[in-house]
Amino acid sequence: MDQQIIDDINQWLDEVVIGLDLCPFAARPRRENRVRIAVSHATTEEALLDDLQAELERLSDTPVAELETTLLAIPDMLADFADYNDFLDAVDLWVEQFGWEGELQVASFHPQYQFADTDADDPGNLTNRSPWPLLHIIREESLEKAIEHYPDVDGIPERNVARMKTLSAAEKERLFPYLFG
């Protein structure tokens, strides 16, 4: 099961995140095998926070030359986006309380991801729709360095939404099979 989850996430990274250039900073660490995909089989928020803590520590303790970022997959809970979204408050508090603020941050991806004030079928939501609920742990220093050399960081979300709007129904079905199964 874990291997299928990892395979699903790798395919999403390669075909959607990198393939559609949604994150201009993702290709290099992926190419250099510095992206960790971990799977949490937690079934309670406390256990998931423990798994998150372990991944935060691993990322913090590992040199960036070996590990750039971590994706923590959550296949056994938080399938409902509202529950997932509520849990993100605990994640933010966790990062703050354990002193990771300014060093690490957590980005969110979910199969049912829906930005505030959008309809569920808004194409822009596809930018954050992953095959499994994910917590993406990012090194802030690496992000800041990447942003320094990128000409239009503020335009990335708008560009990504525009890209999603150009996808045909067949392309969406191929790139996001978990949404059409």
Paired sense of beta strands 35-39 and 104-109, if any: unpaired
Q: Which residues pair with 69 in a beta bridge?
A: 35, 138
> What are the tokens at 150?
């990128």
pLDDT of residue 181: 72
What pTM value is reported for the model?
0.95
User: Could you give the CA distance from residue 142 to residue 87 in angstroms, rounded to a whole number?
Assistant: 25
Residue pair 75/39 in contact (Cβ under 8 Å)? The answer is yes
User: Could you give the CA distance from residue 12 to residue 109 in angstroms, rounded to a whole number?
Assistant: 11
> What are the tokens at 135?
């917590």
pLDDT of residue 22: 95
- 181 residues of the chain, pLDDT tens digit each: 899 999 999 999 999 999 999 998 999 999 999 999 999 999 999 999 999 999 999 999 999 999 999 999 999 999 999 999 999 999 999 999 999 999 999 999 999 999 999 999 999 999 999 999 999 999 999 888 888 878 888 899 999 999 999 999 999 999 999 998 7
User: Could you give the CA distance from residue 69 to residue 58 in angstroms, rounded to a whole number?
Assistant: 10
